[in-house]
Amino acid sequence: MSLFNKLTKPVVGFPSLDWDDVEETRPMGQHERPLQARIDTQVAVIGARHTRVALAIEKIWGHPECVTYMQDLVLSGYNDGEKRMGFKPEIVTALLTLVELHKQAFGLQGREDSRP
């Protein structure tokens, strides 16, 4: 009997195309992604439509004022005296998600959490 007949799988070459050996995969859920990847995704959503807001968030990220700033944008609808028509739902969702991610990352509280 030759050595070739004794081997069940080739040692060199391409992997087997037998799909029974492959574990099933699925897309990673948003909550399973690393924290920084989730933050970057939400800032990119905001930056696509509101560059100045995204830049301001990046500048003050990590400070308690960041949470207050994002909450003011969502709740008050204005910033520095500018009247706004409001944000699209995906922007509001991104802002609120960033508030929660900021709290997870830094434990810093915004305006409504600092009340007695």
* pLDDT tens digit sequence for 73-111: 988 765 555 666 788 999 999 999 999 999 999 986 655
Instruction: Judge whether 29 lies within some domain.
Output: no
- Strands 82-83, 78-79: parallel, antiparallel or unpaired by DSSP? antiparallel
How much is the average pLDDT of 66-79? 83
* 16 in a structural domain: no
Q: State the average pLDDT over residues 52-59.
A: 96
Q: Could you tell me if residue 92 is inside a domain?
A: yes
Residue 114 has pLDDT above 50, yes or no: no
pLDDT at 77: 60
Residue 116 confidence (pLDDT): 40
3-state secondary structure of 14: coil
Question: Range of 52's domain?
Answer: 35-108
Q: How many structural domains is the chain composed of?
A: 1
Give domain status of residue 30, yes or no.
no
Q: Quick check: is 15 in a domain?
A: no
pLDDT above 90 (res 60)? yes
User: Is 80 contained in some domain?
Assistant: yes
The answer to whether residue 93 is domain-embedded is: yes
pTM: 0.66
Q: At 18, list the tokens.
A: 């037998």
6 inside domain? no
pLDDT tens digits along 7-25: 555 566 666 666 666 667 7
